[in-house]
Amino acid sequence: MIEVKHLTKTFEDKTVLFDISTTFETGKTNLIIGQSGSGKTVLMKNLVGLLEPSEGEVLYDGRNFVTMTKHERVLMQREMGMVFQGSALFDSLSVKDNVQFPLDVFSSLNYTDRVKRAQECLDRVNLLDAENKFPDEISGGMQKRVAIARSIVLNPKYLFCDEPNSGLDPKTSLVIDELLSSITKDFNITTIINTHDMNSVMGIGENIAFIYKGHKEWQGNKDQVMNSTNKKLNDLVFASDLFRKVKKVEMEEEQRAHEK
Amino acid sequence: MLIFRLLRKNLTTFGEYLILMRRSFSMPERMRMFMKRYLKEMVQLGVDSIPIVLIISFFIGSVICIQMKVNIESPWMPRWVAGYTTREIMLLEFSSSIMCLILSGKVGSNIASELGTMRVTQQIDALEIMGINSASYLILPKILGLVTIMPFLVIFSSAMGIVGAYGTAYIGHIISPEDLTAGIQHAFNSWFMWMSIIKSLFFAFIISSVSSFFGYTVEGGSVEVGKASTNAVVCSSVLILISDVFLTQLLS
């Protein structure tokens, strides 16, 4: 479980995050949603240590990440996996070598076992047949899956994904969402996903934190989103005609059930 | 006020450079991986530069020999003077300083653009998240790789310059091979060779560390990577020229 307590982030004279407090639960897909520029990525960077919070605490199963020494942080980061928005694969390495890379650096396994483990992870994301290709030879969706395989190769306790569906078609986005959801359940890890993809919100949003202009505006799950009266949340989630219609149907059904 | 601000900015940049160097010169996570990268960088930065070093040195050696023969020759000068001056120029300045200036363009822009691209595509962030000291992992092999290979490039350059001078003798018949050989062998001081190598070690450090700094600290997108690449070449070239003055004074 990750607890964020009163986190504030200021860049010189501009405050981007204001007193954020929230909890991300283990074994659940936790979503951070919000419009572009709302502070989602800054929040995630503060969680993983790429940025320093100006105020507040980040507790990983009770361990305060903010006050840790440099060495403790490095050890802590080895319990994390991260999927970046642009995949961030090492373009000089093949798909297999990208996935194997964290093992080469940190694992005490011998070469054969490291290769075997990397292949297991590639198999988990259905990319075993692309192991010898290079990142620029595969599609964006495949790159994301390689990034997921790389992020789970060391069996992390915490998985962070920064807009994993950006630039992907709806069908591929669904594959990525299902993959992240099943990995979270299978390995019982704490997964945090930054997204503004409403299909993800409705599909895998077990715990959703809505950030609006740097403030935590709302928190709940995908079922609660449907019934939410928060205007700012509704403006984001039900921005498209399709979702507005879905909500209307849902509410009508609920009303009918109530009447019966 | 403007001067003060400029001075403050430059001192801040220098401080950031020193901090990055301190991070870079820390023990690698895995020696096996470090050695792999070290060898790769030696090939990429050094071995791949051999053809350009040989081509430039050959023609500069030829041109210096021709210029010396045509412009310095007089009844008061011994006939071997063209060979002698060619050797001294190649050894004392061209093969170390000028060759490093040329390499700062090729190698410096290569390093800055590679690290800059890794920064903007979040590959460096990915290393940091894994708990890897990205500065040490990426920069240290580049610095040590270039510092290791640079003396060999200097030796190849000096040798090729002399070959170029012989080219003018055998092919262009500008000077007789006997006069050229006499000049090249005249009053040879082996310290000059060492001086050239020592200077090149400093220059290799400047090229690799300064270019790494500019590439590693890029913020933004492809335009900033291009700017960082240009700044890396300009800054390392200027630093090479300034340090050349001090090193030449110190080692002579």
What residues have CB less than 8 Å from A39, skipping those under 6 apart?
Answer: A9, A16, A17, A211, A213, A214
State the Cα angle at B26 between B20 and B29, rounded to 5°: 120
> In angstroms, what is the C-alpha Rg of chain A?
19
Name the interface residues of B facing A (CB cutoff 8 Å): 29-30, 33, 121-123, 125-126, 128-132
The pLDDT tens digits of the residues spanning B131-145 come to 889 999 999 999 999
CB A59 within 8 A of CB A190: no
Which of these ranges, A121-125, B22-26, B204-208, B209-213, has the smallest mean pLDDT?
A: A121-125
Question: What's the pLDDT score for residue B73?
Answer: 77
> What is the interface pTM, i.e. ipTM, of the complex?
0.82
Structure tokens at B147: 């510092």
Chain A from 62 to 121: CB within 8 A of any B CB: 73-78, 80-82, 84-86, 88-91, 101-102, 104-106
For residue A4, the 8-state DSSP code is E
Residue A248 has pLDDT above 80, yes or no: no
Distance from C-alpha of A246 to C-alpha of A251, rounded to nearest angstrom: 9
What is the least distance, in Å, from the CA of A205 to any CA of chain B? 25
Whether B26 shows a pLDDT value over 70: the answer reads yes
Residue of B nearest to A103 (CA): B130
How sure is the predictor about A191, in pLDDT bands with cuts at 50, 70 and 90?
Answer: very high
* pLDDT tens column, A6-61: 999 999 889 999 999 999 999 989 999 988 888 899 999 999 988 999 999 999 99
DSSP one-letter code for A221:
-
Confidence check: pLDDT of A258 > 80: no
pLDDT at position A244 over 80: no
CATH superfamily of A2-79+158-229: P-loop containing nucleotide triphosphate hydrolases (3.40.50.300)
- Closest-CA residue to A165 (of A131, A130, A200, A137): A200
> Of the candidates B30, B33, B123, which has its C-beta nearest A90's C-beta?
B123
- B222-236 tens-digit pLDDT: 899 999 999 999 999
Contact B233, B102 (CB under 8 A): no
In the prediction, which pLDDT does B44 show? 93
- Answer positive or negative: Cα dihedral of A98, A101, A102, A108: positive
Size of interface A-B (CB pairs under 8 A): 49
Taking an 8 Å cut-off on Cβ atoms, the answer to whether B126 and A84 are in contact is yes
d(CA B111, CA B207) in angstroms, rounded, equals: 9
- Whole-angstrom Cα distance, residue A94 to residue A128? 12
Tokens of B71: 């412009």
- Residues of B whose CB is below 8 A from A88: 121-123, 125-126
Q: Which of A32, A4, A34 is nearest to A20 (CA)?
A: A4
Please answer yes or no on whether A104 and B131 come within 8 Å at the CB atom: no
B65 pLDDT higher than 80: yes
Query: Parallel, antiparallel, or unpaired for β A215-220 and A207-212?
Result: antiparallel
Mean pLDDT rounded to a whole number for chain B: 92
Is residue A205 very low, low, confident or very high in pLDDT (cuts 50, 70, 90)?
confident
Question: What sign results for the dihedral spanned by CA atoms B195, B198, B204, B206?
Answer: negative
Q: Sketch the domain layout of chain A as residue ranges.
A: 2-79+158-229, 90-155
Single pTM value for the model = 0.86
Query: Of A105, A6, A12, A111, nearest to A59 (Cα)?
Result: A6
User: B112-133 burial, b for 16+ CB within 10 Å, e for fewer?
Assistant: bbbbbbbbbbbbbbbbbbbbbb
From chain B, the residues in CB contact with A91 under 8 A are 121, 123
Chain A nearest-CA residue for B124: A88
* Residue A238 clears pLDDT 80, i.e. is over it: no
CB contact under 8 A, B129 and A82: yes
Task: Provide the 8-state DSSP code for B44.
Answer: I
pLDDT confidence of residue B244: 93
The answer to whether the CB atoms of B29 and A106 lie below 8 A apart is yes
Q: Which residues of A touch B125 (CB under 8 A)?
A: 50, 84, 88
Whether the pLDDT of residue B117 is over 90: the answer is: yes
Tell me how close the Cα of A21 comes to any Cα of chain B, in angstroms.
Answer: 23
Count CB neighbours of A59 within 10 A. 15
Q: CA-CA distance, B65 to B164, in Å (whole number)? A: 8
Which of A60, A84, A99 best probes binding to B when mutated, by most B CB atoms within 10 angstroms? A84
DSSP letters, A93-121, are: S-HHHHHHHHHHHH----HHHHHHHHHHH
Q: Which residues of B touch A105 (CB under 8 A)?
A: 29-30, 33, 130, 132
Check residue B74 and give its pLDDT: 81
pLDDT number for residue A124: 85
Cβ contacts of A89 on chain B, cutoff 8 Å: 123
Q: Write out the two tokens for A219.
A: 């928190």
**Is A88–B132 a contact, with Cβ atoms under 8 angstroms apart?**
no
Instruction: Supply A216's token pair.
Output: 């935590």
User: How many C-beta atoms lie closer than 10 Å to residue A70's C-beta?
Assistant: 7
CA distance to partner chain A, nearest, from residue B42 (Å): 16
Judging contacts by C-beta atoms under 8 Å, the chain A residues touching residue B128 are 49-50, 77
Is the pLDDT at B28 greater than 90, yes or no? no
How confident is the model over A48-98, as pLDDT tens digits?
Answer: 988 999 999 999 998 999 999 988 888 888 889 999 988 899 998 999 999
Residue A242's pLDDT band, with cuts at 50, 70 and 90, is low
Does residue A193 register a pLDDT over 70? yes
Q: Is the CB of A88 less than 8 angstroms away from the CB of B33?
A: no
Contact B131 A86 (CB under 8 A): no
Please tell me the predicted confidence (pLDDT) of residue A240. 65
Q: Closest residue of B to A108, CA-based? A: B30
pLDDT at A110 over 80: yes
CB contacts, 8 Å: B29 with chain A: 105-106
Residues B177-212 have pLDDT tens digits of 999 999 999 988 889 999 999 999 999 999 999 999
For the stretch B78-110, pLDDT in tens is 888 999 999 999 999 999 899 999 999 999 999
| CB-based contact B125 A90, cutoff 8 Å | no
Of the candidates A49, A73, A82, the beta carbon closest to that of B126 is on A82
